[in-house]
Structure 1
Amino acid sequence: MGRAMLGSALEILDELGATEVILYVDDDAPLGDDRDRTAANSLYESAGFTEIDRLYSYSL
């Protein structure tokens, strides 16, 4: 389902003339956590996206 949704979104963006797409992924959860984004990141990578930057947040 995720692959189909991503594909549809990319097709619409292409039709609208987009030449670049940027994804922001909240990926600070440990592996196995409910917020683990490993599967999503694999999907984006298989669709041709590459990581260009990573923002780390820290708290006391």
Structure 2
Amino acid sequence: MNRSSPYVRRQWLGREIRRLREEHDVTSESIARALSFPRQQISALENGHLGRMSLSSAESVITSR
């Protein structure tokens, strides 16, 4: 079982979201527009600051296409 701290898991999640976004040539601005979120909220998520947004908002970013 992985015993990493919540901070480490948030950092990993943020890096993965950014990697996938960049891999698909999508800008944070376009994701923000599509989800009606401030761009800063997408940036915060990618930088591991998940606490700034609700879990449902984070799920929207992760599952958006």
Flag whether TM exceeds 0.5 (same fold): no
Higher share in helix:
2
Task: Identify the structure with bigger relative contact order (alpha carbons < 8 Å, sequence gap 6+).
Answer: 2
- Higher gyration radius (CA): 1
TM-score by length of 1: 0.35
TM-score by length of 2: 0.33
